[in-house]
């Protein structure tokens, strides 16, 4: 069997994690679930350095995030040479660790694909950071976001299949009541704009019952598997 990767994307509350984990037992083929977001507490594979950085952030009162930071929130400029130097050092270390973490998880995906397993990505770095670090005007981004976006666009592998679990923002907010309707609306639009960025992009109505959503996603994966095997 020719294996491949599938990314489940969608705004918070769409059911990515629930569907992704259930697919491991629902599909009649070898499957590996892998979280591909920035929320350390949700990760099932993590570098030790990321754990250390997360501990520092928690000590500073920063909570976990599933996707990229809110672009509307900007840090005030650091005052003084020492503070600017410390911030620059943190940005360099943060970027280096972020790239290492992303490639580490991609390496795990390659390992399982090489052994014939379908890898189910819960989120994906390319889709999460597409609107923030890749698309748009590079001059509006900081140097580390430009560097991150350059690596994601030109070097980081995209998923073979992207499945968007889509639902109206008010439905998503009612499920988790996290963030704001404005943020959920923006994130949903960002994901929808990715249709032309990947070869295989599908949308599943996430307002349906969990079993129906799971069945729809499973069917899309099995159909892709049949095409892959037919072309082998």
pLDDT digits (tens, 9 = 90+) for 94-124: 999 999 999 999 999 999 999 999 999 999 9
Please give the average per-residue pLDDT across 50-60, as a whole number: 85
pLDDT band for position 66 (cuts 50, 70, 90):
low
CA dist 39 and 223 (Å) reads: 31
Query: How confident is the model over 25-43, as pLDDT tens digits?
Result: 999 999 999 999 999 989 9
CA distance 90 to 94: 6
Calculate the average pLDDT of the chain.
Answer: 89
Report the first-to-last Cα separation within the chain, whole angstroms: 8
User: What is the per-residue pLDDT across 217-229, written as a single tens digit (0 to 9) for each?
Assistant: 999 999 999 998 8
The per-residue pLDDT for range 199-218, each reduced to its tens digit, is: 899 999 999 999 999 999 99
C-alpha to C-alpha distances, 107 to 36, 145, 225, nearest whole angstrom: 12, 22, 22
Residue 83 has pLDDT above 80, yes or no: no
Mean pLDDT computed over 7-26? 95
% of the chain with per-residue pLDDT over 70 = 91
- Distance between CA atoms of 82 and 224, rounded to whole angstroms? 54
Pair type for strands 201-205 and 5-9? unpaired
Which residue stretches of 159-204 are H helix?
A: 169-176, 181-192
Of 31-35, 82-86, 152-156, 196-200, the one with minimum mean pLDDT is 82-86
Of 150, 141, 178, 215, nearest in space to 11 by CA: 178
pTM as predicted: 0.90
Task: Give the C-alpha separation, 206 to 215, whole Å.
Answer: 12
Q: Which domains does the chain have, with CATH numbers?
A: 5-67+81-231 (3.40.50.300)
Is 171 or 68 the better-scoring residue by pLDDT? 171
DSSP string, 10-31: -STTS-HHHHHHHHHHHSSS-E
């Amino acid at each position: 069997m020719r294996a491949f990767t599938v990314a489940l994307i969608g705004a918070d509350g769409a059911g990515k994690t629930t569907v992704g984990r259930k697919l491991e037992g629902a599909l009649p083929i070898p499957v590996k679930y892998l979280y591909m977001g920035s929320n350390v507490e949700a990760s099932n594979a993590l570098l030790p350095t990321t754990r250390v950085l997360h501990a520092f952030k928690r000590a500073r009162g920063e909570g976990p995030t599933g996707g990229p930071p809110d672009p509307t929130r900007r840090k005030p400029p650091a005052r003084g040479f020492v503070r600017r130097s410390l911030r620059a050092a943190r940005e360099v270390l943060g970027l280096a660790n972020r790239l290492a973490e992303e490639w580490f998880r991609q390496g795990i995906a390659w390992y399982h694909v090489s052994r014939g397993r379908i890898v189910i990505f819960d989120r994906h770095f390319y889709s999460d950071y597409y609107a923030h670090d890749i698309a748009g005007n590079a001059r509006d981004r900081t140097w580390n976001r430009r560097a991150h976006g350059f690596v994601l666009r030109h070097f980081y592998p995209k998923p073979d299949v992207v499945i968007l679990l889509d639902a109206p923002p008010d439905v998503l907010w009612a499920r988790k009541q996290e963030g704001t309707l404005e943020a959920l609306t923006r994130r949903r639009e960002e994901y929808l704009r990715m249709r032309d960025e990947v070869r295989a992009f599908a949308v599943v109505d996430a307002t349906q019952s969990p079993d129906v959503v799971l069945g729809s996603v499973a069917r899309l994966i099995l159909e892709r598997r049949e095409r892959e095997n037919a072309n082998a």
